[in-house]
Structure 1
């Protein structure tokens, strides 16, 4: 603990022995690997959550599990960056990934023993694991790339990660294709998710410590191999008084808050079981398109990094206004007390198109919004240690918002109110992020 690396980080003018971007210790390979880990674990979790109610007839089961999940996620989101700096990526990622397998298994158990306790406990444990995984992932994604290509690498990660949601949506779609009237997905669906999650857990051991990752200019992400509990405790505590982090709070709170509404009350309420799986494929596919688009804008649209950031924020805010406006028009057609007729991609004809496009658009916006926020965080520093704490703070606030959202939904708040709150939270965040770019980003 508290050990320093034996070798100093090379200066940016030094070239690594092998300058290929495809060498194992390059940022490209390492970010691709963390993308594959997230493809298998949170990617499959997203597909499971996107079914609405975790693929169960009773949404309250998944709502309570997700409340437990995001409550512990909030705590370990804040702590995750410090834990990553102390333990390094291997132990942090392996411990985090293993909890995803347990969570999917708890729904398999629930299919045969419909009692919520195991699902809720598994959700709480997953929150701990997710806090570790996402703090580690965020540090890697924001600190490993060259400073002028962070948007590109973020979009690369987001595309690989969300391909997990696409494949994960294909699993329930195929396995439940002939069960359009069923209330819960079958056992094979959960087993399929667990197999992918187990692969991701093993794959996490392939991620290198940031002190061993060398950029093409010869620089390293950090020259410190291990931190200490005392150092991390002090540095994490400072974040709560850091003006940069305070400006990120509304965006962080909003960025998981809308999932409850998207999954339970757009996909979950409007569509049949098999159609939800199909929709998820396109929801997460839209995320790939959104991340690539915003990544290009925030890396290549203008010479000045500050200008690129402001333009990216402006584009996302305009698109969000249009999409949430479409969501409002759709929401006025149904409520908790006036449930909609479930739409099926084969049987509902043209009535299916509008809600499908809306759900697709929500996925597009989600990726653009979150990629934009990660880019802003990445613009605040280049060192892995600092960024792991920043991302941990972001994930902690994000998860606290998620916990509140799932519990609000459990108390049957009106769907129109949920939509308005989601729209308002994202809208408030844009000018604050713009201020942060103006005052804190370099170049």
Structure 2
């Protein structure tokens, strides 16, 4: 029997946050270190392409799956795909066969689309209007703790590889830890409750009873491709994971030795947690209207992102490749070790700045989506659409990596995509306020008790 305290929006947000900490968080940690902990980036590139191509499809339908099947068991099943994927690298170490890793990557793509749709629905629809920024920050802090823990594991198991010239693969025990954490995440998902049972602190129900069926969900999904809010945010969605290939493999995976890559992973995710906590005060600031909050957040993000990419370009002009089997890196002085303070500080700080910019972009996208509507079923579809378009961009980016596209070209593409998103997002922020004010007026001072509801969760 689920305890009553689990039915509050904050408790449900915390639960889905811990689920994401232990599943997507561990996946992020594995990727942030570069090449999924392998010396070669071949298999990690292929696996990520498979994941994101699959996620492009599963993200679109993920919200509908949640609406039709309920949240608890669908999220539980989705978490198991992360454990299967982590275990595939243990199989790879013993058999040197890449087939299982690629098949498990496809399974992960399906599970991730459903999990992220559930996460988006919870964090965007459960809180009150003046709490959305705080709930996003709670989620982001707990979720990115997963990347920090994963980076700590990878830092610890690689610490003795302290020679500057060494890039060592992650030992098998590291992958075993990842599998165990993924399974714990799946168990945490069983504490999620049916959405219609969630009650806010003011006594209102977060979600009202709404019946749906497969034909209706199919129709609603198709409508997303004509929805002006979804289309305006499409460039932001598309670009929001595009840079991972370059930052994780082409920067962290190329410039640093093994233990420093693990250390950087911890710094990257701590930077994300700090950034989202700080920006949440602006998202929920009652001194400004939603339009001004959205515009100020976008301006802050745009300035910091352009400064970050400009500094990255300066470093990128100093190398073309990392440590290869046939030749060492052409970065001046070779691979960077964290004990080489004068060489390490600048690139490590820059990598942490990449984490800050990532957090600002993704939290802004979620906050903007969250003020479109309070309808949980609609927001689950928006969240799925966001993840789908995000994954389409990521699949293309990982393909660029797999094709060994020069790192300088990858940087230029990422920088260009960043600035392409700004005018569309600015228009979004300027025009959403009036529409949402009308919706708030209709719902003001209404508390509706849900009717009897059968939920498959």
Take 2:94 and 2:260, find their aligned partners in 1: how far apart are those partners? 24
Q: For 1:90-115, what per-residue CA distance to the aligned partner results, in whole angstroms no more than 9, with x for missing partners? A: 12201111000011100111112222
Take 2:304 and 2:69, find their aligned partners in 1: how far apart are those partners? 40
Q: Compute the displacement of 1:221 (Å).
A: 2.4
Q: Secondary structure at the match of 1:149?
A: helix
Q: Secondary structure at the match of 1:221?
A: coil
Counterpart in the other structure of 1:273: 258
Q: 1:214 pairs with 199, 214, 217, which one?
A: 199
Q: Compute the displacement of 1:225 (Å).
A: 5.8
More off after superposition, 209-218 vs 94-103:
209-218
Counterpart in the other structure of 1:339: 330
Q: For 1:305-358, what per-residue CA distance to the aligned partner results, in whole angstroms no more than 9, with x for missing partners? A: 221111111111111111111111111111138632211112x23101111011
Is 1:81 the counterpart of 2:73? The answer is no
Matches within 5 A, 1:54-73: 54-73=36-55
Take 1:212 and 1:225, find their aligned partners in 2: how far apart are those partners? 13
**Unmatched segments (≥5 aa) in structure 1:** 1-21
Q: 1:360 pairs with 349, 352, 356, which one?
A: 352
Q: Compute the displacement of 1:182 (Å).
A: 4.6
Evaluate the alpha carbon distance shift between residue 404 and residue 84 of structure 1 in structure 2; reply closer, same or farther with a 3 A threshold: same
Is 1:239 the counterpart of 2:224? The answer is yes
Take 2:257 and 2:279, find their aligned partners in 1: how far apart are those partners? 32
**Unmatched segments (≥5 aa) in structure 2:** 323-328, 438-457
Take 2:314 and 2:371, find their aligned partners in 1: how far apart are those partners? 36
Q: Compute the displacement of 1:301 (Å).
A: 6.4
Is the CA contact 2:291–2:432 (under 8 Å) kept in the aligned structure 1?
Answer: no
Q: 1:391 pairs with 370, 375, 383, which one?
A: 383
Take 2:418 and 2:66, find their aligned partners in 1: how far apart are those partners? 29
- Root-mean-square deviation over aligned CA pairs: 1.4
Is the CA contact 2:295–2:426 (under 8 Å) kept in the aligned structure 1?
Answer: yes
Matches within 5 A, 1:3-402: 23-180=5-162, 181-224=166-209, 227-300=212-285, 302-336=287-321, 339-340=330-331, 341-346=334-339, 348-402=340-394
Q: Compute the displacement of 1:268 (Å).
A: 0.2
Take 1:58 and 1:400, find their aligned partners in 2: how far apart are those partners? 24
Evaluate the alpha carbon distance shift between residue 301 and residue 336 of structure 1 in structure 2; reply closer, same or farther with a 3 A threshold: farther
Evaluate the alpha carbon distance shift between residue 332 and residue 305 of structure 1 in structure 2; reply closer, same or farther with a 3 A threshold: same
Counterpart in the other structure of 1:434: 426
Q: For 1:388-409, what per-residue CA distance to the aligned partner results, in whole angstroms no more than 9, with x for missing partners? A: 0111111000001111110111
Take 1:331 and 1:343, find their aligned partners in 2: how far apart are those partners? 14
Take 2:359 and 2:427, find their aligned partners in 1: how far apart are those partners? 21
- Between the two proteins, the alignment pairs up a number of residues equal to 421
Take 2:387 and 2:287, find their aligned partners in 1: how far apart are those partners? 29
Take 1:342 and 1:318, find their aligned partners in 2: how far apart are those partners? 30
Counterpart in the other structure of 2:454: none
More off after superposition, 68-77 vs 202-211:
202-211
Take 2:151 and 2:309, find their aligned partners in 1: how far apart are those partners? 24
Take 1:225 and 1:202, find their aligned partners in 2: how far apart are those partners? 28
Take 1:48 and 1:411, find their aligned partners in 2: how far apart are those partners? 21
Q: Secondary structure at the match of 2:226?
A: coil
